[in-house]
Chains A and B, each alone.
Chain A
Amino acid sequence: EVRLVQSGAEVKKTGESLKISCKGSGYKFINYWIGWVRQMPGKGLEWMGITDPRDSDTRYSPSFQGQVTISADTSINTAYLQWGSLKASDTAMYYCVRYVRGCSSTSCSLDYWGQGTLVTVSS
C-alpha cells in the first residue's frame, strides 16, 4: 500500500525557520516525483513545487520561488519542505503529493496525497 506520512502540526513565530517532512512507503521512492501543495484556511489548493528524487531536479511555482525549499533524501525515502523565515501568511495546511509519472507535457497527475501538516505562524 502506497503511503505518504507527514510530520505533525507546527506552531511557530514569525521569523523562525521550519522544515516539515513526508515519508513515502509502499513504493520505490526514487522512481516518482514528489511535491507540495498549500491550502490556506478556507481556501483552495495552490501548487508549490516538485522534485525528482533521482537527480534532485526541482521546479517551483513563481509564487513560491525563493520563499521555500523542496528537497528529498532517498536514503530514508523522505521529502522535505522548508522555510528560512516564516511569515504569518505561511499559516496553512501543506500536503505532500506523489506524481503518477512525473510532471511533463505527457503526464502530470498527483495520485497519492499525504494527510497534511498544519503550520500556524503567529507574531
Chain B
Amino acid sequence: QSALTQPASVSGSPGQSITISCTGTSSDVESYNLVSWYQQRPDKAPKLIIYEGNKWPSGVSDRFSASKSGNTASLTISGLQAEDEADYYCCSYASSATFVVFGGGTKLTVL
C-alpha cells in the first residue's frame, strides 16, 4: 500500500480537463508545499511536470497545474491531448522516517 493515495485511473476526451487527486497525511502533504508530480509514458522514465506545489520545470506545458487543500493535492490537465495519455505519480517530502513518499499512480486514458 502506497503512502499517498491516488485514484487508479481517470479518463477524459480530447479538449476536456481532468483532475487527479493525491491524498496524504499531516506528516507529508498537509505540512509541506512540496508535492511534485511526474508523468510516465509507457516504457519510459518518469518526467517531472510540477514541483514544489505549483512550479513548472522548463519546457513543461502550462496545461498542467496543481493545487493543494489540507492533506489532498491535485493535478489538473486542461485541454487534454492524446499525448497526455500516461501514468501520473504524486510525491511528497515526509517528516516521518519515510522521508519521501510516492502515490500509487494514476493511469490517464484519453478517449
- Report which A residues bind B (CB closer than 8 A): 37, 44-47, 50, 59, 61-62, 95, 100, 103-116
Contacts and interface: CB of A to CB of B under 8 A. Distances in A.
Contact of B36 (A110, A112, A113): A110
Interface stretch (B15-23, B41-49, B67-75, B77-85): B41-49
B104 interface: yes
Given A107-B52, A109-B51, A61 B98 contact: yes
Interface of B: 2, 32, 34, 36, 38, 40, 45-48, 51-52, 57, 87, 89, 91-93, 95, 97-105
Contact of B38 (A61, A106, A110, A116): A110
Nearest to B31: A105
Given A109-B52, A111-B57, A59 B99 contact: yes
B35 to A, nearest CB: 9
Contacts of B99: 47, 50, 59, 61, 103
B46, B92, B103 interface centre (most CB from chain A within 10 Å)? B46
Contact of A46 (B34, B38, B102): B102
Please report whether the interface of chain A is mostly helix, strand, loop or mixed according to DSSP.
loop
A59 B99 CA distance: 8
A113 B98 contact: no
Nearest to B87: A44
A112 to B, nearest CB: 8
A109 B51 CA distance: 6
A111 B91 CA distance: 12
B98 A62 contact: yes
B68 to A, nearest CB: 15
A109 B100 CA distance: 10
B77 to A, nearest CB: 19
The winner among A104, A109, A113, A116 for most chain B CB atoms within 10 A is A109
11 contacts: A44-B87, A45-B38, A47-B99, A47-B102, A62-B98, A95-B46, A108-B36, A110-B46, A113-B48, A115-B45, A116-B45
